[in-house]
């Protein structure tokens, strides 16, 4: 992996939102919307090792080298998005450690990560977002604003879970927000909306009016039910 610093932003004790592509494209879609709405600016990026596969598009192939960006705005760093995650654990661990190193460099006061929470329950148009944190004390604090805490013990795999472990090991407070989904194979725009609405409550930031997310969710429903 290659780590490239593009510029040195003037940041002091920002929050950091970090998430990557996962089930239903929840994490990457949320990151893209945060960047768009906050008009963030690139300051660092990570290029992956070349993947050991090509993508057959039906008669022709594409060959992707993944790149993940660090961007910044007022009092905020946003990391991730992209089309995938690192292909092996070694690269995933390197990437998580780089996020923590960047967080320490700019004295990040709180790290947030975003992702999907798969459930077998039938979901309507208002899926819940469940929250977990790096300590019982922090969970007690955030529960006071009425957010839903993750309901049972489970494994949170991939970057959007592991980054909380790296944060905890580095004495950095972290909060994970995971939106309910049923089908991990299709984009889950309502889960993204639910997560961002919860994130607004926790960060006092605004991430848009979410009208486009509603329209895209309806379009997916129409396609699925044809």
Q: What is the mean pLDDT of residues 60-66?
A: 85
Average pLDDT, the chain: 93
**Closest of 36, 53, 43 to residue 14, by C-alpha:** 43
Domains in the chain, ordered, with CATH?
11-51+62-224 (3.40.50.10900)
CA atoms within 13 A on the CB side of 220: 16
Q: What is the mean pLDDT of residues 68-74?
A: 96
Q: What is the mean pLDDT of residues 127-143?
A: 96
Local structure of residue 50 (DSSP, 8 states)? P
* Alpha-carbon span 93 to 42, nearest angstrom: 22
The pLDDT value given to residue 77: 98
Q: Are 20 and 28 in contact (CB under 8 A)?
A: yes
Place of tokens 């699925």: 224
* Alpha-carbon span 86 to 144, nearest angstrom: 36
């Amino acid at each position: 992996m290659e780590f490239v610093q593009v510029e040195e932003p003037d940041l002091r004790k920002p929050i950091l939102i970090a998430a990557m592509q996962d089930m239903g494209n929840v994490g990457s879609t949320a990151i893209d919307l945060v960047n768009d709405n906050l008009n963030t600016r690139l300051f660092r990026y990570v290029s992956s090792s070349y993947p050991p596969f090509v993508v057959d598009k039906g008669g022709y192939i594409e060959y992707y080298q993944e790149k993940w960006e660090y961007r910044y705005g007022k009092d905020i760093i946003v990391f991730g998005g992209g089309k995938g995650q690192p292909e092996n654990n070694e690269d995933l661990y390197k990437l998580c450690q780089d996020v923590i190193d960047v967080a320490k460099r700019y004295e990040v006061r709180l790290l947030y990560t975003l992702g999907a929470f798969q459930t077998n329950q039938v979901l309507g148009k208002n899926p819940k977002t469940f929250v977990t944190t790096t300590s019982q004390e922090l969970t007690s604090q955030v529960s006071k604003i009425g957010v839903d805490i993750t309901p049972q013990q489970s494994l949170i795999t991939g970057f959007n879970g592991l980054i909380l472990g790296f944060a905890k090991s580095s004495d950095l407070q972290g909060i994970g927000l995971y939106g309910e989904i049923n089908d991990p194979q299709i984009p889950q725009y309502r889960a993204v909306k639910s997560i961002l609405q919860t994130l607004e409550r926790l960060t006092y930031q605004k991430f848009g009016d979410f009208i486009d997310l509603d329209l895209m969710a309806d379009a997916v429903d129409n396609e699925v039910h044809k």
